[in-house]
Amino acid sequence: MKIANKINLSFSIVVVILVGIASFTFYTIAKTNLEKAIYAHLSTTAQSRANHIETHLEGVKARLEILTESNLIEDTVKKIIHNGPDSKESLQNLDLILRDFAKAEKEAYELFILNPDGKIIASTDERHIGADESGEAHFLGGKDEVYIRDAHYSESEEPEYSISAPIRDDYTKELLGILVGEIRMTYLNEITTDRTGLGKTGEIYIVNKYGYMITPSRFKEDTFLKQKVDTENCRMSVAKYPQTHTGHGSVDIFQDYRGVMVLGAHEDIPEMQWSLLAEIDEKEALAPLAVMKLIFIIIFCTIPAVIWTVGSLLSRIITAPIHKLHKGTEIIGEGNLDYKVGTDTKDEIGQLARAFDMMTSDLKGSTTSIDNLNKEIAERKQAEDTLRSTYEELENANHGLKEMQSQMVQSEKLASIGQLAAGVAHEMNTPIGFVASNFQTLESYVDKIKKLLGMYGELTNEIDTLGKSELLNKATAIGKSREDMKIDFVLEDIQELFDDSKEGLDRVTDIIQTLRDFSRIDRSGSLEKYDLNEGIKATLIVAQNEIKYDADVKTEFSELPRILCHSDQINQVLLNILVNAVQAINSRQREGMGAITIKTYAADSEVICEISDDGPGIDPDTLSKIFDPFFTTKSAGEGTGLGLSVSYDIIVHKHDGKLLAESTVDKGTKFTIKLPIAVKERNEKKEIKNDGKKNSIVCRR
């Protein structure tokens, strides 16, 4: 949905709802107030009319009562009763009185006097004299007290009501007769048909206790005792239940006897059991409301249209710059950075437009720098390529270096092996030498024995063929040869030769065993229990050849606990240090032999081996570098410079130990190897962990 429509719709809905609620509230309040006013007016009117009617009735009643109480009437009636039909004069008087009274009482239709038996003795209408009224209500009701007979038709079909009052003897209270006045409804009709303040449709009428109209209707003809009024207003005024009946009040809009909706009020006239009803048509009464309703409906209908129009204008004002902006973005999006939205408005959208324009110019500026940037990027890319190739070269170089390093380590190893081989060869030379010489001797001895054995063989073959002498000669010759060949000595010497050779071979075997122990050919790679003293001994044997011409080795072994380690690696370290020591001693021109002292002892948690020499010592500068790889003091080609570096790696990194060098120039150097007794498993683990990761020289081995 467009913003414009959204604004419009929300605007319209809110306004329509508000207007609706406001209209409804106003209408309801206005209606309530208007109705209240109408009810009040109707009630007041009904009340005043009812009062008027009551007063009128009271008046007529009172006048009749006064008449009955007058002595004139009393005496006249008495005379008539006592004298019977003879009292003509009295009857004439009575007629006169009645006529006079009737003249004064304009509404009176007929006045007559009944005797106690119910017969008319005097009347304003002579025709009725003598009629029997004993069965009539005005007679029966009027005997004891003043009685008002409800509205009814007179003889001549005229609406009337009648009031009867007893005429009594002043003293005896004896009933002398009954005065009956039949009164026309005209005055009551006048009161009810007075339309003052009732507008065009308002009316007031009286309903008797049976629910029938007794005064004229404004709208219908001939309603007297014929028009039944069974409306809510009338029902409210009927004293059906004395508890709830109030006698007066008003009724909300209801249907009247014509079926028209009206507003009404009612007022009782209790004496007559009449209800006076005041009603007005709803249409007329609530006409102002209808106008109001119309106005509200018009407002209700027009407001959305107005709102829609205003909303459309408003939203156009709001959305126009937005549209402009939108257009601008599209144009700029197509690449035209010179376009300017340009709006003068001071509101937020104006700000936005200006910011947008600023952004566009910034964008333009940055587009130029982007070109430069691109150039720079290209250059950097090139540099990066160069760098990459350099890196690759370096990588290759590194790789070569690593390979070289590995070769170097290999050659160091080979050097060790060379040393080892030289030592071993020398050691084995002596025993092998005399075993070889013994074999030469043995060979000659065996030849002699072979010769002798051949002679003996010939003799044996010729025993049968030759004679005794010949045999004897031959035997003598053989014995002589045996003596010549010193066979007896030979046999003795053979035993000695074998013993010597056996000793020589044992020594070779020992050396080979030592060599195996030293290099741990069979158990290489895993931790094993190791006696440092034994290791030193084996190393000394291996290094014998190197040492023996230059130095005396003095060992001071203490009893050591066995430790867990890679024995071949430790041996390699020992050999390395020893050989270094010998070479150091050798480098010092001296007369006698140098001295190497090897001392072992156990401290708290470690075994310690100190190897000291009395060589030239190392100056502090050099000392600090001796464990660096490739550092060497020897001339090129003589050493790899890796010996001590590897040793350091073995002791410190692989065994958690310490390798220390102390030196005093001209006095000598002391290397101390400290190995923990409880070589922890973690060493093993660490090694495994490091394996393959650390491109150390050691690992490559």
Partner 1 sequence: MKNRSRENIFISLYQLFVEEHWFRMPMTTYKHMQRGIDKQKTWFSCLILVILLFCGCQKRPEEAQLERVNIAFQQWVGYGPLYLAQERGLFEEEGIDMVFLDEQLDSARRDAFKQGMLDCEAGTIDLLISKRSQDTPIVAVLEIDRSMGSDGIVATEDIKTVEDLKGKKVAFARDDVGETFISYLFHKKGLSLDDITIVPRKPDGAWLAFLEGEVDAAVTWEPWLSKATQRPGGHILISTREEPEIIIDTLNVRDDLVKDNPGLVKGLMRAWFKALKYCREHPVEASEIIAKYYDVTPEEYREQITGLKWFGYEEQIKEKEANQWFTTFNVISEIKFTNGRIPRKPNAAKAINRTLLEGLYEDSQ
Q: Where along the sequence are the contacts to partner 1 (CB under 8 A)?
A: 1, 6, 9-10, 13, 16-17, 20, 24, 134-137, 140-141, 143-144, 149-150, 152-153, 208-212, 225, 228, 230, 235, 238, 240, 255, 273
Entry field: residues in the chain: 701
**For residue 404, what are the contacts with CB-CB under 8 A and spacing of at least 6?**
none
Nearer to partner 1, 175 or 408 (CB): 175
**For residue 473, what are the contacts with CB-CB under 8 A and spacing of at least 6?**
none
In the complex, minimum distance from the CB of residue 228 to partner 1, in angstroms, rounded to a whole number: 8
**For residue 510, what are the contacts with CB-CB under 8 A and spacing of at least 6?**
none
In sign, the C-alpha dihedral spanning 630, 633, 637, 642 is negative
In the complex, minimum distance from the CB of residue 161 to partner 1, in angstroms, rounded to a whole number: 12
Q: Where are the alpha helices (DSSP H) in 630-695?
A: 643-648, 655, 681-690
In sign, the C-alpha dihedral spanning 201, 206, 207, 213 is negative
Nearer to partner 1, 9 or 401 (CB): 9
Return the CA Rg of the chain: 79
Provide φ and ψ at 179, rounded to 5°.
-90, 125
Nearer to partner 1, 28 or 361 (CB): 28
Nearer to partner 1, 159 or 668 (CB): 159
In the complex, minimum distance from the CB of residue 140 to partner 1, in angstroms, rounded to a whole number: 6
First to last CA, the chain: 78
In the complex, minimum distance from the CB of residue 86 to partner 1, in angstroms, rounded to a whole number: 25
In the complex, minimum distance from the CB of residue 111 to partner 1, in angstroms, rounded to a whole number: 20
Q: Where are the alpha helices (DSSP H) in 588-650?
A: 620-623, 643-648
Residue among 111, 112, 157 at smallest CA distance from 130: 112
Nearer to partner 1, 243 or 368 (CB): 243
Tell me 635's DSSP state. Answer: P
Distance (Å) of CA 124 to CA 69, 106, 225: 19, 13, 26
Nearer to partner 1, 133 or 267 (CB): 133
For residues 537 and 553, the answer to whether their CB atoms sit within 8 Å is no
In the complex, minimum distance from the CB of residue 52 to partner 1, in angstroms, rounded to a whole number: 25
The rounded distance, in Å, linking the Cα atoms of 581 and 80 is 188
Nearer to partner 1, 17 or 298 (CB): 17
Nearer to partner 1, 68 or 237 (CB): 237
Neighbours of 636 (CB within 10 A): 7
| Helices 567-587 + 487-519 axis angle, to 10 | 110
The rounded distance, in Å, linking the Cα atoms of 576 and 212 is 147
Which amino acid is present at 44? T
* 3-class SS of residue 334: coil
The rounded distance, in Å, linking the Cα atoms of 542 and 557 is 18
Nearer to partner 1, 149 or 448 (CB): 149
Neighbours of 58 (CB within 10 A): 11
Nearer to partner 1, 241 or 549 (CB): 241
- C-alpha angle 302/306/308, rounded to 5°? 115
In the complex, minimum distance from the CB of residue 303 to partner 1, in angstroms, rounded to a whole number: 13
- Enter the tokens of residue 600: 């072992």
In the complex, minimum distance from the CB of residue 240 to partner 1, in angstroms, rounded to a whole number: 6
In the complex, minimum distance from the CB of residue 139 to partner 1, in angstroms, rounded to a whole number: 8
In sign, the C-alpha dihedral spanning 96, 101, 104, 110 is negative
In the complex, minimum distance from the CB of residue 338 to partner 1, in angstroms, rounded to a whole number: 35
The rounded distance, in Å, linking the Cα atoms of 593 and 505 is 31
In the complex, minimum distance from the CB of residue 195 to partner 1, in angstroms, rounded to a whole number: 27
Nearer to partner 1, 266 or 655 (CB): 266
Nearer to partner 1, 93 or 164 (CB): 164
Residue whose pair of structure tokens reads 């030979």 in the numeric block = 490
Q: Where are the alpha helices (DSSP H) in 70-174?
A: 71-83, 88-104, 137-142
In the complex, minimum distance from the CB of residue 118 to partner 1, in angstroms, rounded to a whole number: 9
In the complex, minimum distance from the CB of residue 149 to partner 1, in angstroms, rounded to a whole number: 7
Provide φ and ψ at 225, rounded to 5°.
60, 10
